[in-house]
Amino acid sequence: YVQLVPSPAEHAVRRYVLLDLIGDTLTQLEANRKDCARYLMQVSWLCNEDVCSVMATAQHPEDVDPETALVFEYLVAEALFTHLLQLPESASREMYYASLAIELRKAEPKIMARVLETAVDGIVARAAMLDVECINRLSNWLAVYVSNFAFQWDWARWEAVVQEPEAAPRRSFVRETLLKLVRLSYLDRIKAHVPESCLALLPAKAPGHNFKFTVQAMDERTREVSVALGRCLKSKGTVDQALEILQTHYSQWTDVDDDERQALAREMLVEHVLLLGSKTFSHMLNAIEKFLPALQQFGDAPEAKLQIARTVEDFWLRNPQFCAITIDKLVNYRVIDPVTVVEMLFDPAHAGRWSDFHLWEILRNTITKVNMRVVQLQTRLKTARAVAAVAVLIDAAEQPAAETAEHVEAILAQMEREQRDVVVVTARHFVRLLAATDGSDRAWLLGRFKEFMRTYRAQVAANAAELEGLISAAAASPDVRQVFDATLLLAA
Amino acid sequence: MASASPVSSALVDDAFTIVPRLDRPSTYKDHQYHGSSEQWDSDLSKTATLYIGNLSFYTTEEQLYEVFSKAGEIKRIIMGLARNTKTPCGFCFVEYYTHENALECMKYVNGTKLDDRIIRTDLDPGFREGRQFGRGRSGGQVRDEYRQEYDEARGGWGHMRAKQEEERQRQQDESYEAIATVPTGAELQINSRLGPAASSQPREDAY
């Protein structure tokens, strides 16, 4: 259990029992967080008066001293954060613990506000010792919590982090939480709530796109293509018209070979499609859907897909949220593959940037998506087979159903191959990078590697032999081997 | 992430209603829904779509994505638009891939704040073309037609109230005459037992 405040040693057993009781309430009443909060505030009524102090009923809550007696409200906070930060997975979705904390504060405003503040302070003070995943979860939690109480939080208490190196755990935590708060509102709002001393942690400008073909940056012939294509898209031209423009212009570039021409055309099209859809996510989806045939045509080989992914990342360099969603949708529409995303994330250009949370977010979303697809297909296959079996009983001429089952089997096989690839390629990149990096970035990498192995341990175990070979071949350092062995044990 | 164990559901269950579950649909029924009551219930029991209400007109899709992705992977978000201006009018639909994600949204996101407003989520039978438009007479949502309170994030006064305010303004413009001088107020004799009235000379320390 997380210990947030000192508690008298002689009450250790009592503390454990109470934490257990509170923890059970958290788990049992997960389906109704409002009633759970109410009940939690009443759990102390179940105990005799001398078991613990209850700030809510004390004459002078400020005088309640955790060193002399157990304090009920702190125990509630300890149980909540223990559950939230539990590894490998928390019992319920992270969001539950955020919305439950909000309900607790609503139930007992002054007291729980202070208790939760102290709790967060205490955990953040130990950020250097926390698992990377726990830092990430706490950051998510804090962003939701603060955004529900008018974005009020005393950031000044952490102003010392500005002196720390950029990749330091505490500084990264504060920075990433602020970025999440910006996503939940907007930059100027958060700037207004942050003291002068902490402004360095926020980006200078509001997130926007990074369109490559701005008028200043181009040579004459590139400008021609860009302007022509831009006009075509703006006047709602068809996909064929767009492709024709690209064809006519680039075929005149005699000094470059075919591959180079394709690459240039690919980049030009992707940049313009992204610009077309740069207003909102719905616009982006519409733009992708309209140009889907062209994008798929241009994404014919792994290198091509990688170029598309890199163009997207470049375009949305200053807006990681938009980048993540665009990549996500492109994977959904099968313009790029999950493996493409992995390759893009482990690009050498990201060296030293693994303290940014969004790299891991994209990786995790991609692998989870692949796993979910496999599960869905397996369910579909079961239904298809059941239908086919029934059809066989009723009427031997029921061919369509049997074909469906085979069809699903084929897709499932492909998905499972993708699943295998994603896990193996990711592991290979991690091992390679961990061997080549050191310093604080390595700490982040190792943390993410641990989380990757933990979360996807089922797939790791399924591909144990190949990963074993990978790790031995790379002569990986002992901590990497340790993580791998521990994962296999966990998965058993 | 893991679903509730069988043991825990005994405590939080329809049959016992010791603690009512939050992942249930509200009592709202869409009067434009084509289908029987049973069909409605059946749709809601499988749906991965939610209606989200009480949004600010200025809430962006980015903010919606940030909040709702906490309950699962989002398939798409459809913004609710005013029929005439096609601008957001304070509601949207969120589609997940699974029914479980929709239920988790009801349990954890419904009733929390987005953009400083408490948002309401509700299980929805599914998006159909046309449902993204407000059904109020002025093009927005019906609730904004009849709202009597001033809500800055939802266009200010409700439409009916706005018209009333306009009417009052018009009447004032027509019939009001500027007051040229400030009246002095009548001198009052006070019963001598109670002492004199407050001096009719202005006090030096009064503003």
Task: Report CB contact under 8 Å: B11, A32.
Answer: no
Task: Report CB contact under 8 Å: B107, A33.
Answer: yes
Q: Which residues contact A489 (CB under 8 A, 6 or more apart)?
A: none
Greater model confidence, A473 or A32 = A32
Distance from CA of B81 to the nearest CA of A (A): 13
**Tokens describing residue A466:** 């190949």
Radius of gyration of chain A from its Cα atoms, rounded to whole angstroms: 27
Task: Report CB contact under 8 Å: A96, B107.
Answer: yes
Q: Which residues contact A177 (CB under 8 A, 6 or more apart)?
A: A139, A142, A143, A146
The mean pLDDT value of chain A amounts to 90
**How long is chain A?**
492
Which amino acid appears at position B75 of this protein?
Answer: K
Under 8 Å between Cβ of B31 and A148: no
Residue A257 to residues A143, A197, A221, A396, Cα–Cα distance (Å): 50, 54, 16, 57
- Highest-scoring range by mean pLDDT, A298-302, A477-481, B50-54, B182-186: B50-54
Which range is least confidently modeled, A191-205, A298-312, A331-345, A386-400? A386-400
User: From CA B26, how far away is CA B38, in angstroms rounded?
Assistant: 15
Q: Tell me which chain A residue has its CA closest to the CA of residue B23.
A: A31
Mean pLDDT of A196-205: 90
Residues B158-201 pLDDT 10s: 999 999 999 999 999 999 888 889 988 888 877 767 655 555 56
Q: Is residue A218 packed enough to be buried (19+ CB in 10 Å), middle (13-18) or exposed (0-12)?
A: middle
Under 8 Å between Cβ of B160 and B145: yes
Which range is least confidently modeled, A13-17, A137-141, A397-401? A397-401
**Tokens describing residue B110:** 């419904």
Q: Tell me which chain B residue has its CA closest to the CA of residue A373.
A: B97
User: From CA A245, how far away is CA A476, in angstroms rounded?
Assistant: 50
CB-CB neighbours of A2 under 10 Å:
19
Q: Nearest CB to B104: which of A93, A183, A280?
A: A93
> Running DSSP on this structure, what letter comes out for residue A46?
G
**Tokens describing residue B161:** 């109230």
Report the half-sphere exposure of A424 (CA within 13 A, side-chain side): 15
Residues A352-379 pLDDT 10s: 889 999 999 999 999 999 999 999 999 9
Residue A185 to residues A220, A231, A407, Cα–Cα distance (Å): 41, 34, 45
Residue A427 to residues A267, A338, A340, A469, A490, Cα–Cα distance (Å): 29, 14, 14, 11, 17
Task: Report CB contact under 8 Å: B65, A92.
Answer: no
Q: Is residue A474 packed enough to be buried (19+ CB in 10 Å), middle (13-18) or exposed (0-12)?
A: middle
Task: Report CB contact under 8 Å: A96, B4.
Answer: no
Greater model confidence, A198 or B1 = A198
Residues B126-167 pLDDT 10s: 999 999 999 999 999 999 999 999 999 999 999 999 999 999
Is a pLDDT exceeding 80 seen at residue A9? Answer: no
Confidence of residue A44 (pLDDT cuts 50, 70, 90): confident
Helix (H) or strand (E) holding A267: helix A258-276
Q: What are phi and psi of A296, to 5 degrees?
A: -65, -35
User: From CA B15, how far away is CA A481, in angstroms rounded?
Assistant: 51
Is a pLDDT exceeding 90 seen at residue A402? Answer: no
Helix (H) or strand (E) holding B199: none
State the maximum Cα–Cα separation within chain A, in Å, rounded to a whole number: 89
Q: What are phi and psi of A219, to 5 degrees?
A: -90, 170
Three-class SS of residue B93? Answer: strand
User: From CA B175, how far away is CA B173, in angstroms rounded?
Assistant: 6
Distance from CA of B90 to the nearest CA of A (A): 16
Distance from CA of A96 to the nearest CA of B (A): 5
CB burial readout A401-435, b (16+ within 10 A) else e: bbebbeebeeebeebbebbebbbbebbbbbbebbe
User: From CA A74, how far away is CA A232, in angstroms rounded?
Assistant: 63
- Asked if A91 has any chain B CB less than 8 Å from its own CB, the reply is yes
What does the pLDDT read at residue B6? 44
Under 8 Å between Cβ of A149 and A190: no
CB-CB neighbours of B33 under 10 Å:
16
Task: Report CB contact under 8 Å: A31, B23.
Answer: yes
Q: Is residue B189 packed enough to be buried (19+ CB in 10 Å), middle (13-18) or exposed (0-12)?
A: exposed
Mean pLDDT of B57-66: 95
Q: What are phi and psi of B95, to 5 degrees?
A: -110, 125
Q: Which chain A positions have a beta carbon within 8 Å of B109's beta carbon?
A: 95, 99
What stretches of B52-123 show up as alpha helix (H) in DSSP? 61-68, 99-108
Task: Report CB contact under 8 Å: B76, A368.
Answer: no
DSSP letter for each residue of B107-165:
HHTTTSEETTEE-EEEEES---TTTTB--STTSS-HHHHH--S-BGGGTBS-HHHHHHH
Confidence of residue A51 (pLDDT cuts 50, 70, 90): confident
Task: Report CB contact under 8 Å: B108, A28.
Answer: no
Q: Which residues contact A153 (CB under 8 A, 6 or more apart)?
A: A142, A146, A193
Under 8 Å between Cβ of A41 and A107: yes
What does the pLDDT read at residue A323? 95
Mean pLDDT of A252-264: 89
Q: Which chain B positions have a beta carbon within 8 Å of A372's beta carbon?
A: 73, 97
Residue B35 to residues A289, B39, B40, B46, B128, Cα–Cα distance (Å): 31, 6, 7, 15, 14
CB-CB neighbours of B185 under 10 Å:
7
The mean pLDDT value of chain B amounts to 87
Confidence of residue B2 (pLDDT cuts 50, 70, 90): very low
Residues A153-191 pLDDT 10s: 999 999 999 999 989 999 999 999 999 999 999 999 999
User: From CA A126, how far away is CA A121, in angstroms rounded?
Assistant: 9
- Asked if A92 has any chain B CB less than 8 Å from its own CB, the reply is yes
Residues 113-142 of B with CB under 8 A from A: 113-116
- Cα B77 vs. chain centroid, distance in angstroms? 19
Residues A57-106 pLDDT 10s: 777 777 777 777 888 999 999 999 999 999 889 999 999 999 999 999 99
Task: Report CB contact under 8 Å: A99, B66.
Answer: no
Greater model confidence, B93 or A50 = B93
What does the pLDDT read at residue A492? 84
Q: Which chain B positions have a beta carbon within 8 Å of A322's beta carbon?
A: 62
Helical pair A478-491 and A464-473, crossing angle rounded to 10 deg: 170
DSSP letter for each residue of A400-411:
HHHHHHHHHHHH
- Cα A206 vs. chain centroid, distance in angstroms? 21
User: From CA A487, how far away is CA B49, in angstroms rounded?
Assistant: 36
Which amino acid appears at position A231 of this protein?
Answer: R
Is a pLDDT exceeding 90 seen at residue A55? Answer: no
ipTM of this complex prediction, to 2 decimal places = 0.91
- Asked if A327 has any chain B CB less than 8 Å from its own CB, the reply is no
What does the pLDDT read at residue A43? 82
- Asked if B65 has any chain A CB less than 8 Å from its own CB, the reply is yes
Task: Report CB contact under 8 Å: B20, A282.
Answer: no
Q: What are phi and psi of B133, to 5 degrees?
A: -105, 145
Which amino acid appears at position A435 of this protein?
Answer: A
Q: Nearest CB to B108: which of A39, A99, A372?
A: A99
User: From CA A68, how far away is CA A74, in angstroms rounded?
Assistant: 13
Helical pair A357-394 and A169-184, crossing angle rounded to 10 deg: 60
- Asked if B162 has any chain A CB less than 8 Å from its own CB, the reply is no
- Asked if B76 has any chain A CB less than 8 Å from its own CB, the reply is yes
